[in-house]
């Protein structure tokens, strides 16, 4: 059982967590978030094309949810990172997708930005207005 979960994951929930942990390990090893890089670094006995498809299916699955697969792990991760010293946060705006902008708050760890909160809005390339930063 995962320490902060109330019950042991089973069946599809366990499978989704297993794929998520493989994706996170691949992201840490490879340092890139593209599907091909994730597939290349996943520890899975299947061939590269199958690992890439597995990553894509996980991301597009209707059961993959930020409240289930992200939020429950956020506080334990931040708590663990804070034991090493102060937490450094960065705020960044980036273009994502077609005609969209993401405003992201990330914690900086070992020269990497780990997103902890973000908002995506349909907006032209450029800066977010101040009221969006505050909101």
Is there a domain that residue 79 lies in?
no
Which residues lie closer than 8 Å to 76 by C-beta, 6 or more apart? 3, 4
Is there a domain that residue 3 lies in?
no
Same domain, 96 and 57: no
Angle at which helix 11-30 crosses helix 48-60, to 10 degrees, equals 120
Q: How many domains does the chain have?
A: 2
Please, which pLDDT band fits residue 1 given cuts at 50, 70 and 90? very low
Same domain, 14 and 60: yes
Is there a domain that residue 78 lies in?
no
The C-alpha atoms of residue 112 and residue 133 are separated, in whole angstroms, by 22
Same domain, 55 and 13: yes
Is there a domain that residue 25 lies in?
yes
Domain range holding 106? 86-134
Is pTM beyond 0.75? Reply is: no
Query: Residues 55, 59, 63, 66: what is their CA dihedral angle, to the nearest 10 degrees?
Result: 120
Cβ atoms of residues 26 and 41 within 8 Å: yes
pLDDT of residue 52: 92
């Amino acid at each position: 059982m995962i320490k902060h979960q109330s019950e042991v994951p089973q069946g599809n929930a366990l499978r989704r967590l297993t794929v998520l942990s493989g994706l996170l390990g691949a992201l840490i090893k490879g340092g890139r978030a593209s599907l091909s890089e994730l597939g290349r670094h996943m520890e899975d006995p299947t061939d590269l094309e199958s690992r890439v498809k597995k990553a894509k299916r996980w991301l597009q699955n209707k059961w993959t949810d930020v409240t289930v697969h992200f939020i429950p792990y956020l506080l334990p991760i931040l708590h663990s990172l804070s034991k090493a010293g102060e937490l450094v946060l960065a705020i960044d705006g980036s273009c994502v997708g077609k005609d969209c902008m993401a405003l992201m708050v990330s914690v900086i760890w070992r020269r990497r930005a780990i997103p902890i909160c973000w908002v995506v809005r349909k907006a032209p390339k450029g800066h977010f207005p101040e009221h969006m930063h505050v909101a």
